[in-house]
Amino acid sequence: MNLAIIIPAYNPPDTFSSLLIAIRKITSKVIIIIDDGSTPKINIEYSGVVILRNTQNQGKGYSLIKGFQHAENEGFTHAITIDADSQHDPELINSFLEFDANINLVLGTRNFTEDMPIHRRISNKLTSYIISLLCRKTILDSQCGYRRYKLKNVCSESFHETGFQFESEVLIKLLRNNCTHVNLGIPTIYSSENSSIHNFRDTLKFIRLILRNIIRD
């Protein structure tokens, strides 16, 4: 398994440097940062860190796809995606690596406890249930961005979503195409940083995504 770590980042918090230091203490694997039009630009000088830039904010999905394609072009076979807001514990990286390389998706799965805001708990449970029905497979946390991807699978698909809904769309596309997945329990970590998710607008986008996939059946 030749794996890279991919981090999409838009105006990341002050903890971002600490996150990178923590990752580097765990592993020497290449880190690919996609700077999604941050102001000021992200400037990091760490060994084994590659920065790709979007000239303007394009969205999380757009940035992830760009990172996947770059990684595959560079000869990587797998990627672990980590959010830039320090809500994913780098200590779990090795747990993702323990799964067989032939598994297409390893999905970080959080416990929906009081540590997660109630509107996020409700939204996540509902979207996970709907996606499970669509895919006929059990999805426990459809919105978690801490995942391991087999790049051959994700790079061979085309996607419509460029924002946060991409992480739901990629589940639908890959799992309906008989890709394998496992769930990995991870801690629920929430900071005081503002979320880039806009509840009403993103709910409408999720409904559009679901309707598009139902109509295609």
Convert the pLDDT of each residue in 25-75 to its tens digit: 999 999 999 999 999 999 988 889 999 999 999 999 999 999 999 999 999
* 105-110/147-150 β-pairing: antiparallel
Q: Which two tokens stand for residue 146?
A: 């801490």
Q: How far apart are CA 71 and CA 143, in angstroms?
A: 23
Residue ranges of domains in the chain: 3-215
| CB-CB contact of 117 with 192 (8 Å) | no
pLDDT at 127: 83
Indicate if the pLDDT at residue 198 is higher than 60. no
Domain 3-215: give its CATH code.
3.90.550.10
Residues ≥6 apart with Cβ < 8 Å to 196: 10, 60, 164
**pLDDT higher than 90, residue 130:** no
**Shortest CA distance to 162 belongs to which of 53, 82, 39, 66?**
66
Helix (H) or strand (E) holding 134: helix 118-135
Question: Predicted confidence band at 216 (pLDDT cuts at 50, 70, 90)?
Answer: low
Angle ∠(47,83,152) on CA atoms, nearest 5 = 80
Ramachandran region, residue 14 (left: φ > 0; alpha: ψ -120 to 50; beta: rest): alpha
Q: What is the pTM of this model?
A: 0.86
Q: How confident is the model at residue 114 (pLDDT cuts 50, 70, 90)?
A: low
Alpha-carbon distance 115 to 56, whole Å? 33
> Which of 32, 43, 45 lies closest to 5, judged by CA?
32
